[in-house]
Structure 1
């Protein structure tokens, strides 16, 4: 290792070591808590629990049954915050520190071109980012699987699962790195770049969460049951909260028009108002991957675009 690659390693080795430490701690916690989760499930305490959103209770006193998944939620929250942390503490100083101190002039005076100077440090940072975020996302998924989509565990549509796992977590981390790198180039001050990175990555993360909850990109499915027949079970679906009744002409009304779960009262009310079916809207569990690929595309395109802008501005700014 020599030249610009050696310099990039010298400047980033502490961050690489910190990333390795985070992975080691996360892996140790995942192994420990997942083992306890598997033992609790193997003990038979949860065998009577049906899949679905309703709480499972203990037969004796009726208290809800839950696995210890708070550490798992914490890992998911860390994965969601990772783009902000990588952008602020890795991306912002990547070019910003040399720009602020003026040390880039000395490096470029040694015969190292701008392209080589930038490419080596960005490549090392990007490789480390993909490794860190990818392993953390995989750890979450591996830890989560025994309790996935059960009332005593964690459903796929909960924020820490939907945004804290899968390929979207890796794309979001690269987006954070690209944001910080561009901010460092433009502001010439590490602290200013960190502040801009915090604002942009946080806003984009909140935008992705808003798109999830509004279902703009992944519309829900409509599940219909004719007459007073039992509605299709909710199971692991992500409900929109939109329940109702349908007339013969196809018009939909709120469930409050006939607020009876079943029985003669429901049948009489539906007949009186001319309702022929009931419905609810929800996203099935298979939509997890649809959400994932949309998020991956969003963050991936932004990361590539910001990196391209950085490359175009590099000759003018450095």
Structure 2
């Protein structure tokens, strides 16, 4: 290792070490709590639970019964916050520190081109970002596996799982790095770049969560049951909360017109109003990967676009 890559390593080695410490700590905690999760499952405490209901009830008092999943959700929360953290503490100083101190002039005066100066720094940071976010994502999935889509565990559509357990997590981390790098180039002040990075990455994270909740990019499916017979089981589907009744002409109306779960009352009400079927809207578990690949494409595309913009602005700004 020599030249600009050696200099990039010298300037980023503390961040690389910090990332390694985070990974070791996360791996140790994942191994410890996953072992406890498996012990609980093998003990028979949850043998009576049906994975379909929204929660598993304790036989003695009917209260909800869950595995110890809070530490798992905390790891998912860390993965969601990763773009902000990487953008602020890795991306913002990447070019911003040299720009603020003026040390880039000395580096460029040594015959190093702007492309070399940028490429060595950003490549090392990008590799570190992929390694950190990818490993944390794999740890989450490994820890999550015994309790995936279980009434006593974590369903695929919960924010900690949907936004913190797949390739979209890696794409989001690279997006945060790209935002911080561009902010450092434009503002020439590390603190200002960190503030802008926090604002932009947090806003995008909220927007992504909103598209999930609104099913804006992955529309739900309608599940229909003829007559007054029982609706298909919800299972691991992600309900929109939109339930209703269907007339002979196919028009959908509110479930409140016949608010009976089943039985004679429901049959009589449906006959009185001319309803021939019931429906509910939900996303099946298979849509997990649809959400993942759409988010990956969007966030990865934004990261690539911001990186290209940074390269184009280097000649004017440096």
Which structure 2 residue ranges, 5 or more long, are not aligned?
A: none
Counterpart for residue 79 of structure 1 = 79
1:116 aligns with 2:106: no
Secondary structure of 2:64 counterpart: coil
Indicate the residue corresponding to 2:26 in structure 1. Answer: 26
SS in 1 for 2:65: coil
* Corresponding residue for residue 267 of structure 1: 267
Alignment of 1:99-248 (within 5 A): 99-248=99-248
Secondary structure in 1 aligned to 2:268? Answer: helix
In the alignment, the residues of structure 1 paired with residue 62 and residue 203 of structure 2 have an alpha-carbon distance, to the nearest angstrom, of 42
Q: 2-side partners of 1:64 and 1:162: how far apart?
A: 23
* Deviation at residue 53 of structure 1 after TM alignment: 3.7
Displaced runs of 4 or more, over 4 A: none
Partner Cα separation in structure 2 for residue 105 and residue 24 of structure 1? 38
CA offset at residue 51 of structure 1?
A: 1.4
Q: Please list the CA deviations of residues 177-234 of structure 1 after superposition, one character each: whole Å capped at 9, or x if unmatched.
A: 0000000000000000000000000010111001001111100000000001110000
Determine the C-alpha separation between the residues in 2 that align with 1:189 and 1:271: 70
Structure 2 distance, partners of 1:294, 1:179, is 20
Say if 2:94 is the partner of 1:94: yes
Superposition RMSD in Å: 0.6
Q: Residue 49 of structure 2 contacts residue 56 of structure 2 at CA under 8 Å; is this kept in 1?
A: yes
Residue of structure 2 in register with 1:14 after alignment:
14
Q: What secondary structure, in the 3-state scheme, does the structure 1 residue paired with 2:110 have? A: coil
Q: Secondary structure at the match of 2:246?
A: strand
Query: Shift of residue 63 of structure 1?
Result: 2.0
For structure 1, the residue ranges without an aligned partner over 5 or more in a row are none
Q: Distance between the aligned counterparts of 1:297 and 1:47, measured in 2?
A: 40
The residue matched to 1:240 in structure 2 has which SS? strand
- The count of corresponding residues between Structure 1 and Structure 2 is 318
Q: Using the alignment, how far apart are the partners of 2:36 and 2:236 within structure 1?
A: 24
Contact 2:220 2:283 in 1 (8 A): yes
CA contact (8 A) 2:51 2:152 kept: no
CA deviations 1:154-187 (Å, max 9, x no partner) are 0000000000110000000000000000000000
Distance 2:154 2:55 in 1: 12
TM-score of the superposed pair, with normalisation by structure 2: 0.99
TM-score of the two chains, using structure 1 as the length reference:
0.99
- Structure 1 range deviating more: 60-69 or 188-197: 60-69
Q: Deviations over 1:92-145 (max 9, x none)?
A: 000000000000000111111110111001000000000000000010011001
Deviation at 1:54, TM superposition (A): 2.5
Q: What SS does the corresponding residue of 1:154 show, helix, strand or coil?
A: coil
**What is the correspondence of 1:49-68 to structure 2 with a 5 Å cutoff?**
49-68=49-68
CA distance in structure 2 between the partners assigned to 1:235 and 1:140 by the alignment: 22
1:61 Cα deviation from its structure 2 partner? 2.1
Distance in 2 (CA, whole Å) between partners of 1:110 and 1:35 is 54
In the TM superposition, residue 64 of structure 1 has moved relative to its aligned partner by 1.5
